[in-house]
Amino acid sequence: MQSALVLTLTNLATIAKLGPFVRAWCSGLLKRYPFFLSMTALSFFVTVPLLIGRSDLYPKVWAAARWPATLLRSAAAIEAFWILAGHFRGIHNFARWLIAIILAVSAGAATSLGFFRVPWNDPLHDPLFFDQYTNLWLVLTALVSLAFFRQFSKIPIRPNAARHLVLLAFLFGSNFVGLSLGLESAGKWKYASSLVIVVGGILAFAAWVLLMNRKGEQLPFEPPPPMSPGDFDDAERRNKRSVERI
Residues 60, 78: Cα–Cα separation, whole Å: 28
Looking at residue 103, its pLDDT comes to 85
Per the prediction, the chain carries an average pLDDT of: 85
**Could you read off the pLDDT of 177-193 as tens digits, one per residue?**
999 999 888 888 889 99
Residues 190, 71: Cα–Cα separation, whole Å: 25
Looking at residue 74, its pLDDT comes to 93
Residues 212, 184: Cα–Cα separation, whole Å: 35
**Could you read off the pLDDT of 94-113 as tens digits, one per residue?**
778 888 888 888 888 878 87
- Please determine, for residue 198, whether its predicted confidence score (pLDDT) is greater than 50: yes
Residues 110, 179: Cα–Cα separation, whole Å: 14
Q: Which of 162-171, 205-214, 234-243 has the lowest mean pLDDT?
A: 234-243
- Please determine, for residue 243, whether its predicted confidence score (pLDDT) is greater than 50: no
Q: What is the mean pLDDT of residues 7-27?
A: 93
Q: Hey, CA dihedral for 212, 41, 36, 136, is it positive or negative?
A: positive
Looking at residue 227, its pLDDT comes to 46
CB atoms within 10 A of CB 217: 15
